Amino acid sequence: MATLESLKRSLRHKATTITPSLTRPLSDSQYSAGFDILLGGPGWFTYQEFIIPQLSVLLEPLVNSGARISVLEVAPGPKSVLGYLPGHLRRMVRKYAAYEPNYLFSSRLEEWLCSTSRTMSPLPCQESPPDIHRIPFVADSDTNSTGMNDSADKFHVILFCHSLYGMKHKCRFIKRALEMLVERPRGGLVVVFHRDETLRLDGITCHQTASFPTGVIRVADDDEELNRFAPFVAGFVMQDEGADKTIQIEWRKVCRALGRREEAHQDHLLFNSPNMMVALTQHATALPELTSQMQSSAIADGVKNRQARLHHPASIVRPTEIRHVQQCVCWALDHDVGLTVIGGGHSDHCLWPNVVAVDMSTFDQVHIVTAGRGRIWFRFWFLGCC
C-alpha cells in the first residue's frame, strides 16, 4: 500500500509528464475540501491514538510546574487539536495565538474558540481573546512580517500539527519557533507532528521523538471525491481549465493504481499515512558544543541494519577516549536530549532521526567491576548488539 508521500510524488510526476500548463495553489475552499477527507474515518483515528496522547504527555510536566501555559499554533485548521486534550490540560492554557492564512479556517477557528459558554469552550480559562493571525508563519524575526513583537510574544508551547508541508527550508521555521519560546521557566517546547516517515532537521537535536507507522487514510473511490483529494495531496491545480480536466482523469488513475482496497470497504481506497512527532527545547541548536570537542564519524554507511540506514541522525560523533564518552553523556544530560550508540550496527535503533549517535568503534574491551553482594557494574562497555 502506497504512502501519502509516494502518492504525492506520483501525482506531481504525472502532472509534469501530461501537460506543461502552469500550476496554481489551491484556493481556501479546495484546501478545505481535501483537508476534510484526510480527517475522516481512520484519519481521525491517528489523532485519537497518537497525536492527542503524545501531546498530553508532553504538556503534563508544564502543567505540573504550575505555569500559565501560552500556546502558539501554526496552521491549526478550523479547530485546534488542543480542544481535544483532557480537561485539566485545556484549563491550563491561558493564552492562545495562531497563524492560519486560510480565511475559511481562521474564521471557523475564531468562532469555535470564542464560545461564550465556559462549559462548551475548548479552552475555557483563556485570560484574553485568542489572537488569530490570518497570515502565514514566516521564518524571519521582523515584527511587520509576523505580526508579533519579539520581546513580548513568547510562548511555552509552539505547535506544528501537520503544518510544515509546503514550507521550504523547514529548519529555518523550526529555528524561528525556538527563538519564540519563553526563557523561564525552563521547559518550553516546539512540538511537530508530521505526516511522513522522515523529517530531516539538519543538525537540530530532538528532546523526544515518537512514531506511529500504522496510520491510514481512507478515501471514497468516487470521481468527485478523488477530484478533491488528489489536488490536496499534490498541493496544486492547473491554471488552464482544460489541462485541469485532463490531469484530474490521470490523477484518478494514479490514486486507483496505488491505493489498496479492503474486503470490507471495496468502494474505498486506502493509503498509508505514517506519522511522527518530534519535540524540541531551546537547547535543540546546541550540537556545535559537542561536535567541537571530538571528531565526527562516517560509519553510517557501514551500519548493517537497513532500517537504521534510512534514518538521518543529527550527527555521528566518534569518541576516542573515555572522557569523550563522558562528555557525550554530560552534554545530553545538560541539554535534555537523547543519544544512540553504534556498536555492531545490527539494531534499527543505532541511528535515529535527529538524534546524536555515538560511534563506539574505537573501543574494543569490556571492564567489569564487582561492587559487593555479587552486583556487577560495567565501568565501560561495548554494545556489540547495537
What's the confidence (pLDDT) of residue 1? 82
Which of these, 243, 248, 249, lies nearest to 232 by C-alpha position?
248
Overall CATH class of domain 286-359: alpha beta
Overall CATH class of domain 1-284: alpha beta
Kindly indicate the confidence band of residue 8, based on its pLDDT and cuts at 50, 70 and 90: very high
pLDDT-wise least confident of 180-189, 290-299, 318-327, 342-351 = 342-351
Give dist(CA 50, CA 215) in Å, integer.
Answer: 9
What's the confidence (pLDDT) of residue 378? 46
Average pLDDT for residues 253-268, to the nearest whole number? 93
CA dihedral 363, 365, 371, 373 (to 10 degrees): 130
User: Does residue 227 surpass a pLDDT of 90?
Assistant: yes
User: Does residue 307 surpass a pLDDT of 90?
Assistant: no
Q: Which residue has the higher pLDDT, 186 or 20?
A: 20
Which of these, 345, 336, 339, lies nearest to 303 by C-alpha position?
345
Average pLDDT for residues 308-317, to the nearest whole number? 87
User: Does residue 383 surpass a pLDDT of 90?
Assistant: no
* All three cell numbers of 252: 484518478
pTM above 0.85, yes or no: yes
Name the residue ranges covered by the structural domains of the chain: 1-284, 286-359
Kindly indicate the confidence band of residue 192, based on its pLDDT and cuts at 50, 70 and 90: very high
On the question of a cis peptide bond just before residue 185, with omega within 30 degrees of 0, the verdict is yes
pLDDT tens digits, residue range 262-304?
A: 888 889 999 999 999 999 999 999 999 999 999 888 876 678 8
* All three cell numbers of 68: 500559565
User: Does residue 374 surpass a pLDDT of 70?
Assistant: no
Q: How far is CA 106 from CA 100, 123, 180, 211, in A?
A: 6, 16, 22, 29
Contact 269, 260 (CB under 8 A): yes
Give dist(CA 324, CA 315) in Å, integer.
Answer: 15
Contact residues for 309 (Cβ-Cβ < 8 A; gap 6+): 300, 301, 303, 351
What's the confidence (pLDDT) of residue 373? 56
pLDDT tens digits, residue range 39-86?
A: 988 999 999 999 999 999 999 998 888 888 999 999 999 999 999 999
Phi-psi label, residue 82: left if phi above 0, alpha if psi -120 to 50, beta otherwise:
alpha
Would you give the distance in Å from CA 250 to the centre of its chain? 31
pLDDT tens digits, residue range 95-146?
A: 999 999 999 999 999 999 987 666 678 999 999 999 999 999 998 866 555 5
What's the confidence (pLDDT) of residue 87? 94
User: Does residue 9 surpass a pLDDT of 70?
Assistant: yes
Average pLDDT for residues 146-175, to the nearest whole number? 82
Give dist(CA 207, CA 343) in Å, integer.
Answer: 23
What's the confidence (pLDDT) of residue 381? 41
Residue 179 phi/psi, 5° resolution? -65, -20
User: Does residue 324 surpass a pLDDT of 60?
Assistant: yes
